[in-house]
Amino acid sequence: MHAVVIDAGKLHWRERPDPCAGDHEIVVAVRAAGVNGADLAQREGRYPAPPGWPPDIPGLEMAGEVVSTGEAVTRFAPGDRVMGLVGGGGQATLAAVDEAHALAVPDGVSWPEAGGFMEVCATAFDALFGQARLTVGERVLVTGAAGGVGCVAVQLAALAGARVTASVRDRALHDAVAELGAAEVIEPEAVTDGGPYDVVLELVGAASLPCALRALATRGRVVVIGVGSGARLEVDLLSLMTRRARVFASTLRGRSRAEKASLIAALGARVVPALAEGRLRVPVTGTFPLRDAGSAYERFAAGGKLGKIVLVA
């Protein structure tokens, strides 16, 4: 197979041995693989792959056709269209995926959309519903809402009957984010005067969270998922106490096989139907050939995009 390979902080297109399917794994001929901030951080040596995953082939999500299956695989057969979550190695022409971390791609969903689905949907779904327990009628603030996770979070929250405020710094993207179901799209500076928010999905980090905390409702929940703008800040603990607030924070990549399997099963049951029916979409701003991952990473880093950048084979 060929793979995007990180070597000395640069991306290369290299030949690598084909993966073999372990007992519970399927090997997928990759048609599309989403780019994530984690890939860029891994290229810079700041986010190594967890043990058991290719240390130098990036890629946390992909979609394609099953080419072979392990002996214990029951859900998929060669030829099936699947999308999968991996701890690394997704940006290659072949990738091995645990069958419990894969879902069937609904008919009519394009390869780029499927390739960019798993990481952002699993992250947004788990944060909003697994951690913050967002419910119908609540107010939610999604910061960094024009990005990959944000675009999906806005839609999932709106579909669940929450009132969504999206914070987006690029004015040119406000209308597009509103079309995803946000009741209001505001600039980050306006967050403090808004709310009160029952749930804050923090995708930006230190540059954003202080304003969001000031607008948190009594019994509000904050989920910290992204810290691209910085990971350190001073917090007024008293204001959290008086609000009886709860703060959650998590990463997805390092979770156990079982934890990921139960999250993916919930995605399959509760989110994929919306994707299949066109009530949820994964906006894709640009696609790039897999062998030209460098250009895709450059586009991702430039910002000002709606949703995802996806590599296609």
Ligand X SMILES: NC(=O)c1ccc[n+]([C@@H]2O[C@H](COP(=O)([O-])OP(=O)(O)OC[C@H]3O[C@@H](n4cnc5c(N)ncnc54)[C@H](OP(=O)(O)O)[C@@H]3O)[C@@H](O)[C@H]2O)c1
Segment lying near ligand X (by CB under 6 A), choices 50-58, 98-106, 270-278, 301-309: 301-309
Asked whether position 207 contacts ligand X by CB under 6 A, the answer is yes
Residues 121, 287, 278, 106, CA torsion sign: negative
Asked if residues 312 and 290 have their Cβ atoms less than 8 Å apart, the reply is yes
Report, in this order, helix, strand and coil percent for the chain, each rounded to 5.
30, 30, 40
Kindly tell me which residue out of 64, 220, 226, 283 binds ligand X, with binding defined by CB under 6 A: 226
| Cα–Cα distance, 277 to 100 (Å, whole number) | 23
Segment lying near ligand X (by CB under 6 A), choices 8-16, 148-156, 177-185, 237-245: 148-156
DSSP state of 158: H
Query: Binding to ligand X (CB under 6 A): which residues in 78-137?
Result: 119-120, 123
Number of residues binding to ligand X, judged by CB under 6 A? 29
Segment lying near ligand X (by CB under 6 A), choices 10-18, 66-74, 139-147, 189-197: 139-147
Asked whether position 49 contacts ligand X by CB under 6 A, the answer is no
Q: Which residues pair with 2 in a beta bridge?
A: 15
Nearer to ligand X, 94 or 213 (CB): 213
Which two structure tokens, joined as six digits, stand for 42?
């891994």
Build a one-symbol-per-residue string for 232-271: x at contacts with ligand X by CB under 6 A, - elsewhere: ------------------xxx-------------------
| Cα–Cα distance, 114 to 311 (Å, whole number) | 11
Nearer to ligand X, 120 or 293 (CB): 120
Query: Binding to ligand X (CB under 6 A): which residues in 172-201?
Result: 188
Kindly tell me which residue out of 5, 32, 36, 177 binds ligand X, with binding defined by CB under 6 A: 36
Least Å distance, CB 276 to ligand X, is 23
Asked whether position 59 contacts ligand X by CB under 6 A, the answer is no
Nearer to ligand X, 229 or 262 (CB): 229
Nearer to ligand X, 37 or 54 (CB): 37
Residue nearest to ligand X (CB): 147
SS3 29: strand
Residues 272, 278, 183, 226, CA torsion sign: positive
Nearest partner of 101 among 113, 89, 118, judged by Cα: 118
User: CA distances (Å), 298 to each of 37, 86, 304, in order?
Assistant: 11, 22, 12
Least Å distance, CB 68 to ligand X, is 29
Nearer to ligand X, 27 or 141 (CB): 141
User: CA distances (Å), 205 to each of 163, 164, 208, 255, 271, in order?
Assistant: 22, 19, 6, 21, 26
Asked if residues 208 and 188 have their Cβ atoms less than 8 Å apart, the reply is yes
Kindly tell me which residue out of 141, 149, 191, 201 binds ligand X, with binding defined by CB under 6 A: 149
Question: Where along the sequence are the contacts to ligand X (CB under 6 A)?
Answer: 36-38, 119-120, 123, 144, 146-150, 169-170, 188, 203-204, 207-208, 225-226, 228-229, 250-252, 303-305
